[in-house]
Structure 1
């Protein structure tokens, strides 16, 4: 055989080998299998747990929904919350305040995972007193680009929010209706375990979205598999495939019923918070093995991972799960369907904005919300919009 012929054969073999690999990696896989994402099984090696400094005063027996607010000093004046006290029982956490046993502010063990630390601290320290009317979890800034309102006003959204209709379908609902900056649209988001997402995370390590999406499959397996994941990393009921996608709304503001909170034990929320705490940069070398299983130390990554976890935790595991044969797990197709209702349906159910015009796609109703340039509001936004004291949507 001529040398040139041999060379061509080798090139053909390499070409078809690469082609087969691409087809294999990109092959379609069913996401109807049940995932074992039902119980948080992460185990910490920490010798002690944080003291309970997040007990919300007066919550016991309250008939109002709890409003859990995760604030930082940069959020500005919190007085806008005062006008909401007639509608909600306020539980405000200052996550970047120094630890102070005499402080009247609700405190968290560490400023980790953005809003997730305050949310989990509330769930842990007030587990037995979740109001029958449910709870709303929000960020501490009144004006923010992600608030689904024409003027980006969270006060207006919370005033208009209809708790009963919001909780009626599933006992959990994200406060956003517009699908922009979410993973609800398959056209705008890649499966978290895909090769494209992985390569983007490698080539753009500053891209928190790509890095957190790449870290999500392993994080879910560790959180819901615990030590079992370490012993059986090939468990398909814990690990997402390269074509599986967790669809969800952004940006970690939601409403949840008491029943949905109580479908997990207090110890599970403790474990989830310890996953965050065990990933701190100050973990000593002797605990390196534990840290390798814990949350990424970068809050932009760990916080975003947990923004995918809330609806996995709180969406119901109902009779329909039993009928479909997934009572022992999470049906990803069903989960994605519940997590991403159409925008027009969502606006009507949550905020009473019904029969809207311009709802030409499932994820958007023109005139209701627009992402501001560079995801930022002008610096004088609060001052120029402070006249809106009635909080009308």
Structure 2
């Protein structure tokens, strides 16, 4: 009986530990979204496609399309060059140490704003010589626990990039790499707690679109910001150039100067990339 009790107690502790770890891994959306419905939608979406190998690679000159990415020094991003050789890669190490950097290591001015700091730094540094297509991507390749938001078979960013229609990016200007509306764009998520009217005004203050969007929503008596998560998207060069360089410098300065934390400032930008690149708030 004593052994049975010990076994039950040990099993209970392990189960609780597993649930705590799972919650930690899913913390990006656990407290904001209906996790059960999300997992169901994600599971269905993962298996409604064919195998990864069946997805064609779209042709294009290597020098005319680029993947922009932020990574921690410990993260291995060799999969980009190996699996997507027809793309340029601008991979920024956000937490470099002197003994691991070289003259060719791309770094960001500060480590704040999550991937947004790298995204904006690339646009600012290369504004005068951008390739035709820019894709902004996370450093993980695949797997549900790290890449749950990658809307492709097996949550694989390689599959997502191989399936990307470059002509559609050029036609549309901005394309979210996630098609699943949950989380981020379903009706219940559009009353966005991160992008309040005050935060919106602060982010766009001093830019070429200061006051736009916010005034219209306030006139209508609604405040809704919605887009499918999670800061992985593609844009055309022409769409980037619709904003002056100073706008992107201002967005980056906001991340540096805001009292919002690293995570929260990055989350604000996550919900605003579509607006930055010319789309409506919802």
Q: Shared fold (TM-score greater than 0.5)?
A: yes
Question: Is 1:220 the counterpart of 2:223 in the alignment?
Answer: no
Question: Is 1:185 the counterpart of 2:165 in the alignment?
Answer: no
SS at match of 1:270: helix
Mapped partners of 1:149, 1:312: distance in 2: 24
Mapped partners of 2:129, 2:83: distance in 1: 20
- For structure 1, list consecutive stretches of 5 or more residues without a partner in the other structure: 1-60, 193-209, 279-294, 317-331, 337-393
Displacement after TM superposition at 1:99 (Å):
6.5
Give the root-mean-square deviation of aligned CA atoms. Answer: 2.7
Residue deviations 1:147-188 (CA, integer Å, cap 9, x gap)? 1123111112112222112332x2110000111111x211x3
Given the superposition, is the C-alpha separation of residues 242 and 97 from structure 1 closer, same or farther in structure 2, using an over 3 Å criterion?
Answer: farther
Partner of 1:128: 128
Residue deviations 1:45-77 (CA, integer Å, cap 9, x gap)? xxxxxxxxxxxxxxxx96431111111235x32
Mapped partners of 1:277, 1:98: distance in 2: 20
Mapped partners of 2:151, 2:259: distance in 1: 29
Partner of 2:174: 172
SS at match of 1:151: helix
Partner of 2:242: 263
Partner of 1:305: 268
Given the superposition, is the C-alpha separation of residues 307 and 90 from structure 1 closer, same or farther in structure 2, using an over 3 Å criterion?
Answer: same
More helix by share: 2
Mapped partners of 2:218, 2:247: distance in 1: 20
Given the superposition, is the C-alpha separation of residues 83 and 298 from structure 1 closer, same or farther in structure 2, using an over 3 Å criterion?
Answer: same
User: Structure 2 matches for 1:203-214, cutoff 5 A?
Assistant: 210=193, 212-213=194-195
Residue deviations 1:268-322 (CA, integer Å, cap 9, x gap)? 11111111111xxxxxxxxxxxxxxxx2331221111111221112126xxxxxx
SS at match of 2:229: coil
* TM-score between the two structures when normalised by the length of structure 1: 0.49
Mapped partners of 1:221, 1:250: distance in 2: 21
Question: Is 1:315 the counterpart of 2:273 in the alignment?
Answer: no
Following TM superposition, the consecutive aligned residue runs of length 4 or more in structure 1 with deviations greater than 6 angstroms are none
Question: Which of 173-182 and 156-165 deviates more?
Answer: 156-165
User: Which structure is richer in relative contact order (CA contacts within 8 A, separation 6 or more)?
Assistant: 1
* TM-score between the two structures when normalised by the length of structure 2: 0.67
Partner of 1:137: 136
Given the superposition, is the C-alpha separation of residues 190 and 257 from structure 1 closer, same or farther in structure 2, using an over 3 Å criterion?
Answer: closer
User: Conserved in 2, the CA contact under 8 Å of 1:69 and 1:92?
Assistant: yes
